[in-house]
Amino acid sequence: MDYRMLEDGDKVMVAVSGGKDSLTLLRILNDRRKFVPIKYSLIAVHIDMGYPESISRQMKSYFKKIGVDFRVVKSDELKKTGPKDINCFWCSWNRRKVLFQTADKLGCTKVALGHHMDDIIETTLMNLFFQGEISTMAPKQELFKGKIVIIRPMAYVEEREISGFAKSEKLRVYSCKCPHSELSQRFMMSKIVSQVKRTCPEVKKNIFRSLRRIKKDYLL
């Protein structure tokens, strides 16, 4: 409601990787349709990038089980790229490209992503440390002159809460198999935040809150 993410008549694509975040988002957006006054439709989309141990079959089975419309889209970008060129940025960029193309093809008005508060905090630090800028993921973001609108409904939710929900609801979660996952910049930022939290328990909320409390008179 703070960002007016959903409106009557929205056709919302939910990007589902199979991890706890996207599965939780799909579950919440699907369940809340039963009682919220806003009427919107959902379509779950899983992008199969062609990595070994594909979970496409399991995703199809799950989507059918909970009764949501879905598409499993296969990408052949992996076949065109050498191993040395594959990294977190490459994977994220190509997956996002396929998502946007699919959203446009299906006539979706919103694309819902499972990013949470921890992701926003880590992105803030990554951009500060590695890009030399102060920026982050926006809870709601218009792209291509408003043709595609990204929403992140779990922007206020900490990762630990999502983990607890996934466990209590017995969601079948598929962990990331990427060999780069624990070498990424994001993983590094997560470790830094965890270390600081030992002496400053409110560090996550403080970083998140700082993005709304910009003191322009104290910037260069």
Mean per-residue pLDDT for 209-214?
94
**In this predicted model, which residue has the larger pLDDT, 22 or 91?**
22
Phi, psi of 176 (to 5 degrees): -65, 130
Contact between residue 13 and residue 114 where contact means Cβ atoms under 8 Å apart? no
Confidence of residue 198 (pLDDT cuts 50, 70, 90): very high
Q: What is the pLDDT of residues 4-59, one digit of tens each?
A: 999 999 999 999 999 999 999 999 999 999 999 999 999 999 998 777 778 899 99
Residue 150 has what DSSP assignment? Answer: E
Query: Domain map of the chain by residue range?
Result: 11-213
The class that CATH gives domain 11-213 is: alpha beta
User: Residues 123-152: what's their mean pLDDT?
Assistant: 94
**Confidence tier at 162 by pLDDT (50, 70, 90):** very high
- CA gap 109, 11 in Å, rounded: 5
To the nearest whole percent, how much of the chain has pLDDT over 70?
90
Q: Which of 146, 149, 125 is nearest to 136 (CA)?
A: 125
Residues 141, 142, 143, 149, Cα dihedral to 10°: 90
Confidence (pLDDT) at 44: 97
pLDDT at 180 over 80: no
**pLDDT tops 60 at residue 138:** yes
Residue-wise pLDDT tens digits, 66-81: 999 999 998 876 666 6
Residue-wise pLDDT tens digits, 118-130 = 999 999 999 999 9
Long-range contacts of 3-7 (CB under 8 A, 24+ apart): 3/139, 3/140, 3/151, 4/140, 5/110, 5/139, 5/140, 5/151, 5/153, 6/38, 6/40, 6/110, 6/151, 7/38, 7/40, 7/109
Sheet holding 110-112, edge to edge: 69-74, 41-48, 11-15, 110-112, 148-151, 140-143
> What is d(CA 162, CA 92) in angstroms, rounded to the nearest whole number?
21
- What is the predicted pLDDT for the residue at 147? 87
Judged against a pLDDT cut of 60, whether residue 190 lies above it is answered with: yes
Which one, of 153, 219, 183, lies nearest residue 3 by Cα?
A: 153
The residue that leads in pLDDT, 194 or 53, is 194
Confidence of residue 95 (pLDDT cuts 50, 70, 90): confident
Give the residues across from 47 on adjacent strands: 73
Residue type, 78: L
What's the predicted TM-score (pTM) here?
Answer: 0.90
Side chain identity at residue 220, one-letter code: L
Confidence (pLDDT) at 110: 96
* pLDDT surpassing 80 at residue 181: no
Q: Which residues are 12's β-sheet partners? A: 42, 110
Q: Extract the tokens encoding 137.
A: 């993921």
Share of the chain above pLDDT 90, in %: 74
Q: Is 14 exposed, middle or buried (0-12, 13-18, 19+ CB in 10 A)?
A: buried
